């Protein structure tokens, strides 16, 4: 504590207050949990139970309950390596679409036909060099920095869905 410049002391990355942009490499991806469901009308997050529908819209649209349906959005935990450390960050739909190259629903339906699609996609993205902008979650309970934007750096980068379509032709 007393000595300054202790070599083992970590830069307090997690303390950032404004978004910061870093160059990083994708180390791994939690391919078991790529999505969450939202109400397609009001975009509220729905419970994981596939049968559940939006209680808010079901209530207000009670004259037409079938109107309330759900869609999937990406929410992916990714380990990235920066020049100083490895950290786990969370990537929501807009950022994840850049890497996957399709909507979460499209990916989900592709993965239903091709059961290894999620594993293959995350393998395909491992080692990718990205410039990411990280921001501190607004929700104080959230434990991971959030990726607000992502730019693939390799000139021949291709989104995961393209790799998958080559591997699993229709």
Beta strand pairing call for 145-152 and 129-135:
antiparallel
Q: x/- binding map, residues 109-148, to Zn ion, per CB under 5 A?
A: ----------------------------------------
Rounded-to-5 percentages of helix, strand, coil across the chain: 30, 30, 45
Shortest CB 57 distance to Zn ion, Å: 3
Q: At what angle do helices 160-167 and 93-100 cross, to 10 degrees?
A: 40
Q: Which is nearer to Zn ion, 44 or 154 (CB)?
A: 44
Compute the least distance from the CB of residue 40 to Zn ion, in Å. Answer: 8
CA–CA separation, 86 vs 135, rounded Å? 16
What is d(CA 103, CA 119) in angstroms, rounded to the nearest whole number?
17
Q: What is the rounded distance in angstroms from the CA atom of residue 157 to the CA atom of residue 20?
A: 23
Smaller CB distance to Zn ion: residue 43 or 85? Answer: 43
Q: Give backbone dihedrals phi and psi of 133, rounded to 5 degrees, phi first.
A: -105, 120
Give 2 or 64: the residue with its C-beta nearer to Zn ion.
64
Is 161 near Zn ion (CB under 5 A)? no
Least distance (Å) between residue 72 CB and Zn ion: 14
Instruction: Tell which positions 12-71 bind Zn ion, by CB under 5 A.
Output: 39, 41-42, 54, 56-57
Q: Which residues bind Zn ion (CB under 5 A)?
A: 39, 41-42, 54, 56-57
């Amino acid at each position: 504590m007393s000595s300054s410049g202790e070599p083992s002391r970590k830069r307090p990355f997690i303390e950032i207050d404004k978004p910061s942009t870093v160059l990083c490499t994708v180390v791994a991806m939690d391919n078991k949990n790529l999505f969450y469901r939202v109400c397609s009308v009001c975009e509220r997050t729905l419970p994981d139970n596939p049968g559940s529908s939006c209680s808010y819209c079901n209530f207000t649209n009670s004259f037409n309950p079938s109107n309330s349906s759900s869609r999937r959005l990406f929410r992916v935990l990714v380990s990235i390596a920066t020049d100083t450390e490895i950290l786990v960050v969370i990537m929501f739909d807009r950022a994840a679409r850049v890497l996957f190259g399709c909507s979460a629903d499209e990916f989900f339906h592709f993965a239903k036909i091709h059961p290894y699609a999620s594993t293959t996609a995350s393998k395909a993205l491992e080692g990718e060099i990205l410039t990411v902008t990280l921001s501190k979650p607004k929700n104080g309970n959230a434990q991971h920095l959030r990726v607000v934007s992502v730019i693939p750096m390799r000139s021949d980068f291709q989104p995961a869905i393209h790799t998958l379509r080559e591997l699993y032709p229709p």
